[in-house]
Structures are given as structure tokens and as C-alpha cells.
Amino acid sequence: MPSSWLAALEDEASKVLPAVFFEYFRQGSGDSVASTDAAAAWDRYRLVPRVLNDVRDVDLTGSFLGTPASLPIGVAPTTLQRAADPAGEAAMARACAGSGVPMVLSSNASTPFAEVAATGVRWWLQAYLPEERLLAVPMLEAAVASGAGAIVLTVDTPVVAAKRDGDGPSALTQVPPEWLRVNLGDAADAPKARDLGVRDIAWLRELTGLPVVVKGVLHPEDALRAADAGAAAVWVSNHGGRQLARAASTAGCLPGVVEALGGAVEVYVDGGVRDPMSALSALALGADGIFLGRSPLFALSVGGEDGVRRLFSEYADGLTEALRLAGSADVGDVRGLEVREF
């Protein structure tokens, strides 16, 4: 069971956020089937606990691209964080740095790379590539200069899907224009690439000298293509249900991707993970790391930097209990836990 604080987080955010921003954070695309079903998809899994094991000392240490983190959890890229809290990405970054977890910064962030880096957070840059690739070079070089540890190439957005904005104004029209193009430069108004291919993975590696994580993969064959092209990790994601409106759940797609890759590269997942038990299921199914998107945004809205810190603390407490009850003292051993689907 999630803590009462975690369970109430979205409702509490709805009370403090202007309606247009809450809806923007919460919404999916089209009929919102993919976004609505995301959390319930994890509920289909049941774990078979082991017993007669020493679980006095629990190790929650995770690893992202070979670097330890205090938890096997990170923050996924989201935009408009300054709509959640005036300090925006800087507050999110300070919370991540203080909690020992990585943060992925949206290329459409409203805070300069250098300000995020100054918090000491371990951060990666999420990037969309424009049709004219060279327009992205200044942004990518600036990220490298500011200490980005990886490039997260988002591959599920050849076009931006229509969202459910209802009858109200779009959130993007309610913020200062400069929030939406702080780091983008000439790529700000460029159309997204509709010709993305595996060659772009190698191009990014050569240009930046950084590992490339491919985000937005659901099919095992695409995961293999990405890994064969040199991706350092594959990120199972359906963009929070904000792209293809009836995309399959990440909970359902994760096992196939893990099996196909066979440990060749790290596998991450996001989408619908709202509590420690869902996180434990993801780990048991083979995820090396879990990224949270909406939950950190809502925590930032409710409590600022302290709210995000509390989010990680709640996950640490919940995972510790869940691991003990599952008969494991180490998150690294959870992959061997038997999982059944109902």
C-alpha cells in the first residue's frame, strides 16, 4: 500500500496549482486511454515472496550507467517546472542532489543548464532532434559544457500529439515565452525530425562524447536496434500517455524488452509508477532503474524542494518494507523474484 501522503499527492497538487497547469501536467493525448491505464497496468502483477532470508540490513542502492545512486529511481524530464514552483528545475535539482538520485532535464526546461549544474545534481539532457540536425548542436554543446552526464534521445515524438486541453486556455499560452526556449536556441521553432534513425545514436555519441540513452521504446525489436547502434541504455516509455493515445502500457512492454536485450544494456522504465510496490514490480521484471515524471512535479507543486525530498524519502521507506516482506535485502537481487500476471 502506498503511504497516505503518496496516495493523496495528485489531489493535493490539484488544490494548489492553477487549473490550467494541473490539467497540463495530468493530461494524456487523445482520449487519454494510455495515460489513464498506466498505473492500473502495474496492479496486474503479483510477487511471490521468498522467506528464511536475513533482511535486517536493506541496500537500496541503484545504478544508472554504472554510477551508484541512493535509490534505483530518478526524475524523468518534464517541462514547465516553474509553473509548479518559482524555482522550477533548480529546486528539483537541489532535491535530487540532496537525495542522491539523478535528474533528466528537459531540453525545453525553463532554467539554464548552468543553474541546474550548479546545484551539484547528477543530470542528463533529454533531447529532441530537429529535422535540421545542426540546429541542435549549440544546445548539445552547451549541455556538455555544463556537465551533462548523458544524452537521452526521445524517439517517440516525430510529431506532437494533440492533448486534451478541454475548454480552457492552453498552459503553454499562460507562461512567459522565455520559459520555453531558455536552452533551445535556434532549435526552438524547428520542426521535430520525422526521419529519426539508428544513425542518430552514433551521431550524438560522436558529437557529445557522452553515452546515449534511447527513450520511448516499447517494442523488443526496436530495443535491439537501439542497442546494436550503440545506445548505452534503453528507456521503456510511452511518453506518459501523451503521444500515441492508445499506446501499450510500459508495465506490459517491459518484460519483452528486458528478455530481448538479455542484459546487453541497462533498461529503464517510466509510466504509471505511483508507489513503492509498483517500483518493486518494475525491478522484479528486470528494470535497472525507474523514472518518475508526474509525481515529482506534483511533489514540487505541493511542497517545493522539500516536497520532492519527501517523495524520495517515502519511496525509500516503502521500498525498504517491501523488500523485507519479499525476502530480499538488496534491490539488486529483486530481478530473480517470481512475478505473476493476473
- As annotated, the binding site for FMN includes 106, 126, 154, 215, 237, 270-274, 293-294
Cβ–Cβ < 8 Å for 291, 126: no
- Alpha carbons 236 and 296: distance in angstroms, whole number: 19
Q: Please give the annotated binding residues for glyoxylate, written as ranges.
A: 24, 128, 239, 242
The three cell numbers of residue 290 are 525507474
Alpha carbons 236 and 214: distance in angstroms, whole number: 9
Q: Which residues pair with 235 in a beta bridge?
A: 215, 268
Name 47's Cβ contacts closer than 8 Å, sequence gap at least 6. 280, 281, 284, 326, 337, 338, 339, 340
Q: What is the CA radius of gyration of the chain?
A: 19
For 141, the grid coordinates are 554543446
Place of cell 503479483: 46
Cβ atoms 225, 244 nearer than 8 A: no
Set of cell numbers at residue 99: 537525495
Q: Which listed residue (239, 265, 304, 319) is catalytic?
A: 239
d(Cα 232, Cα 62) in Å, to the nearest integer? 16
Largest CA-CA distance found in the chain, in angstroms, rounded: 60
Which three cell numbers mark 120? 551539484
Q: Which residues share a beta bridge with 289?
A: 268
Rounded to whole angstroms, what are the CA distances from 214 to 64, 155, 190?
14, 7, 21
Whether 239 is catalytic: yes
> Where is the binding site, in residues?
24, 106, 126, 128, 154, 215, 237, 239, 242, 270-274, 293-294
Does the CA dihedral 232-238-239-244 come out positive or negative?
Answer: positive
Which residues are catalytic, by number? 239
